[in-house]
Amino acid sequence: MKIVKVLSLGLCLFTLSVSAQIKEKKLDRLIENTLETFDVPGISVGIIKDNKVVYAKGHGVRSLANNKEMNQNTLVGVASNSKGFTSFALGILVDEGKLDWDDKVRKHIPEFQMPNAWVTKEFTIRDLLTHRSGLSLGAGDLMFFPEGGDFTIDDVLANVSKLEPESSFRSSFRYNNNMFIIAGEVIHRVSGLNWDEFIETRILQPVGMKNSKASYNRVTDRSNIIDAHTRTEGEVIQIPHDWSELANPAGGIMSNVTDMLTWAKFLMNDAVTENGERLLSEKNMHELWQLQTPLPVSKDNDYNTHFYGYSLGWFVSDVKGYKQVTHTGGLLGTVTQFTLIPELDLGIVVLTNQMIGGAFSSITNTVKDSYLGYKDRDWVEKNGKRNTKWIAKNDSIKKAVYQQTKIYKDQSALLDAQQVTGTYEDAWFGKVNITKDGKALKITSARNPQLTGELLPYSETTYVAKWKNRSFDADVFVLFTLDEKGKAQSATMKYIAPITDFSFDFGDLHLKRVSK
């Protein structure tokens, strides 16, 4: 269902300068079209060019619950765009001689341990920031995602050693948030400050990011802040904020377009503030954006790109002959994008309150195209069609699965409740309970009560876990392994649809029955 298009726009405090390549009215229309095409309640966009802010506006509403206008000062969780701040903080400590990029992690966290003894010994600070640990995509994210679990930093440090590697160490890119959580703990142990204290006092405040906070819980004035939104059961709805404080070094910062443009200007000014204070040496500022973990580039791509990969908290690539530094971020109900092309002195910020990546990429690419000399490629139409097909594909998969559960409910081969009820345990995630609730089977995580749902029969040995919180969009198959007497001894999980966020890391669980 389409959300109601909001005609009123956030007050514009800046006007486009003559150096801009895309006209203000055209950009306004682009963003309004994006709101409607992707069912996004609110988007704020900022552009900085040649050291001047040339666009900073909010469009739509910050929340469907109150219909208040989105503007350039509306706070949004920038999510994984926080990773660049964590890397910058470590760079400050390198400058101060308190650590080195290639220090072994165990030098600063003696109890740090990976699944392999040699990897444990060799793992460096640099490895924490470059997604080359050998662990799978999103491995261990269920320790902080969704919010509501009781895991601590000590749990993270103890549990990463229990995760199964997917590839050999440093051989390939696998995005991992827990390594950044550990990087935040390095900052804590080396500096004596908590990660959020360090980020605010050593970066946000000196840079001039006046309204930004290191975490959601540190925001005291919530008079101008978004609500998160997501598409659930075919309708875009407002949902509660969801981010665990444990994971702040990986994605906790709250900011707005105004402050993120200040951050962009500061970075492109080689880490020198408006007051002329250098916060990071030229050497380490250069180091932050050096390619560390390469990623493949297709022969035919949109920007004549020849290299692409991850540096220290940033994605780096070339676009039409210029170096691009960028990152995206995603929480439940919000996604963001931050893009710099330093040689053009160009920065683009897009913050949204709905989790559709096609929205921010359509805006960023259109703005980028205007400065790179590409003719209008209508990214909204292209990405909109792709998004419609993607949603339809996932909806059809889910529909077929739930039709199967209705059919199978009355089959004689259905497992009896006593064959599957009991307590199961995973080495790092802890206990999962399967109980009988009237006629229904219920599944509940012992360490995160948000992960509670109903088990629906799908086949002879497989059920579907339908989570009570429908905004997760993360239902999974639960595949039981039976003993010779027909009693379940273990279980694994598998997404029923590819749209599921990778941080719902159910695929890495190996549940073994520990009691009836």
Instruction: Copy the structure tokens of residue 439.
Output: 């006629």
What is the average pLDDT score of the chain? 94
The helix/strand/coil state of 319 is: strand
d(CA 229, CA 217): 19
Per-residue pLDDT for 515 more than 90? no
Task: Name the strand (E) or helix (H) holding 403.
Answer: helix 379-408
pLDDT at 143: 98
pLDDT at 368: 97
Give the angle subtended at the CA of 309 by the CAs of 304 and 310, to the nearest 5°.
145
Confidence of residue 482 (pLDDT cuts 50, 70, 90): very high
Confidence of residue 6 (pLDDT cuts 50, 70, 90): very low
Instruction: Copy the structure tokens of residue 166.
Output: 């997917």
Per-residue pLDDT for 11 more than 80? no
d(CA 314, CA 328): 9
d(CA 238, CA 254): 18
d(CA 492, CA 512): 9
pLDDT at 149: 96
The least confident of 1-5, 193-197, 344-348 is 1-5
> Residues 432-449: what's their mean pLDDT?
95
pLDDT at 409: 77
d(CA 151, CA 331): 18
Instruction: Copy the structure tokens of residue 335.
Output: 């996604």
Per-residue pLDDT for 5 more than 50? no
For the stretch 308-335, pLDDT in tens is 999 999 999 999 999 999 999 999 999 9
Q: Are residues 367 and 291 in contact, defined by beta-carbon separation less than 8 angstroms?
A: no
In 3D space, the residue among 464, 429, 370 whose CA is nearest the CA of residue 49 turns out to be: 370
For the stretch 132-148, pLDDT in tens is 999 999 999 999 999 99
d(CA 318, CA 303): 8
Instruction: Copy the structure tokens of residue 231.
Output: 């598409």
**Placement of tokens 């993360």 in the chain:** 474
pLDDT at 14: 37
pLDDT at 410: 72
User: Residue 480: beta bridge partners?
Assistant: 491
Per-residue pLDDT for 106 more than 50? yes
Instruction: Give Cα 3 distance to the centre of its chain.
Output: 24
Instruction: Copy the structure tokens of residue 347.
Output: 């920065």
Q: Does a cis peptide bond (omega within 30 degrees of 0) precede residue 146? A: yes
d(CA 241, CA 148): 11
For the stretch 352-363, pLDDT in tens is 999 999 999 999
> Residues 405-418: what's their mean pLDDT?
80
Question: In whole angstroms, how far apart are CA 29 and each of 10, 25, 402?
Answer: 14, 6, 40
Q: Residues 6 or more apart from 365 whose CB is under 8 A from it?
A: 302, 377, 379
In 3D space, the residue among 356, 57, 311 whose CA is nearest the CA of residue 173 turns out to be: 311
What percent of the chain is modeled with pLDDT above 70? 96
pLDDT at 412: 62
pLDDT at 230: 96
d(CA 251, CA 241): 13
The helix/strand/coil state of 335 is: strand
DSSP assignment letter at 193: S
Q: Are residues 493 and 463 in contact, defined by beta-carbon separation less than 8 angstroms?
A: no
For 404-442, give the secondary structure using H, E and C.
Answer: HHHHHCCCCCCCCHHHHCEEEEECCCEEEEEEEECCEEE
In 3D space, the residue among 39, 50, 42, 95 whose CA is nearest the CA of residue 350 turns out to be: 42
pLDDT at 4: 35
Label residue 388 left, alpha or beta by phi (over 0 means left) and psi (-120 to 50 means alpha): alpha
pLDDT at 21: 74
**Placement of tokens 């205007």 in the chain:** 370
pLDDT at 2: 34
Burial classification of residue 97, based on how many CB atoms lie within 10 Å of its CB (0-12 exposed, 13-18 middle, 19 or more buried): exposed
Burial classification of residue 122, based on how many CB atoms lie within 10 Å of its CB (0-12 exposed, 13-18 middle, 19 or more buried): middle
For the stretch 368-378, pLDDT in tens is 999 999 998 99
Instruction: Copy the structure tokens of residue 333.
Output: 């109900």
d(CA 185, CA 190): 9
d(CA 502, CA 495): 10
Label residue 373 left, alpha or beta by phi (over 0 means left) and psi (-120 to 50 means alpha): left
Class for the domain spanning 415-515 = mainly beta
d(CA 267, CA 356): 27
Confidence of residue 413 (pLDDT cuts 50, 70, 90): low
The helix/strand/coil state of 78 is: coil
Per-residue pLDDT for 460 more than 50? yes
Length of the chain: 516
What are the residue ranges spanned by the domains of the chain?
A: 415-515
